[in-house]
Amino acid sequence: MPRPLPPLPLSRPAVDRDGASRMREALFDELLRNGATRVLPLWNGRALTSDVDSAAPTGLRLLRTDEVTSALTRVYLGRTLDDAPGEPAGTPVILAVLTDAAASELEPDVSRWRGLRELATRLSDRDAGLFTEAVAIANWHVSHTHCPRCGTPTVVEHGGWMRRCLVDGDEIFPRTDPAVIVRVLDEDDRILLGSNALWENNRWSLLAGFVEAGESFEAAVMREVEEESGVLVAEPQYLGSQPWPFPASVMIGMEARAVPGHTAPRPDGEEILALRWFSREDIWRERDDILLPGGSSIAHAIVRDWYGGPLDEPPAKSRDAA
């Protein structure tokens, strides 16, 4: 059985979401009067950072409530669990989704607004948790401004965690789309990587796909791998999971073994343009010619775990060498 993955960049929140407080009708009035409350401003999926050097460790810039006076949407993100300078554990945090004008007024330097993918590996547990939660719920609000049943505009309730139809009162809650991402290994312990039609032709990553209605993770693994590569797999095993709010997914990391005699990859030519089995030595030898998944993704963690160490270092002689 494969070992669990180490902590993933977007799966290490230090935030108590404090769901019970969402039900209070006067929640935002209380929070906005509380001098300890902090606001996480979000503009086009980007947050403000406390640094100016892109190579240095970074942190989110949380603001006082009087510094952010307007928002398209407000959401109560919860209370922090870790201490930070000026923001002790237990600090309540509100998400404020801003218009272009409000963002420009707050911070006109566009370079200070940074994206989650860019920052994920350099944020603290607290900031990674807040940023991931903020992006995910903001994306959900954008796509649910109207009732999916009748098309009537919806109103925001429960601290930003529910929308209600103005006509029939239907309650609409956030949803996340599960997708499996698979480390397929053959008898020689090589890994199967594919090149997607939407990527640069030298970028390679794991096969992945959404879980269909009425389907288990294990069944999704076997179906997706066969559809995208023609390779048959068996023995799907769970590795770990990570939210991926681009726009609304959670990635379920899995490992499966290719069935002997059914390992010849056949790309579909539409979504997947190329497929290839890589050994660890192949990865190292071709490191200057291939692009592998970025460090914020679960795909990077899964490939690195198989490789046995950092992808910019020579591979260990065996997977268990340390």
Contact criterion met (CB below 8 Å) for 229 and 267: yes
User: Which pLDDT score, from 0 to 100, does residue 241 have?
Assistant: 97
Question: 303 φ, ψ to 5°?
Answer: -65, -45
Would you give the distance in Å from CA 171 to the centre of its chain?
26
What pLDDT score was predicted for residue 317?
60
- Spatial distance between the Cα atoms of 123 and 267, rounded to a whole number of angstroms: 37
Which pLDDT value is given to residue 58?
Answer: 81
pLDDT at 305: 96
CB 237 within 8 A of CB 254: yes
Q: Provide the token pair at 289.
A: 């010619």
Q: How far apart are CA 14 and CA 299, in angstroms?
A: 23
Phi, psi of 185 (to 5 degrees): -120, 145
Cα–Cα distance between 245 and 7 in angstroms, integer?
A: 18
What does the pLDDT look like over 93-117, one tens digit per residue?
999 999 999 999 999 999 999 999 9
Gap between the Cα atoms of 93 and 96, Å rounded: 10
Could you tell me the domains of the chain? 15-143 (3.90.79), 177-307 (3.90.79.10)
With a CB cutoff of 8 Å and minimum separation 6, the contacts of 75 are 94, 95, 97, 134, 137, 138, 141, 159, 160, 161
Q: Which tens digits make up the pLDDT trace of 42-80?
A: 999 999 998 755 555 689 999 999 999 899 999 999 999
Q: Are 71 and 17 in contact (CB under 8 A)?
A: no
Q: What is the pLDDT of residue 318?
A: 45
Low-confidence ranges of the chain (pLDDT < 70): 52-57, 317-322
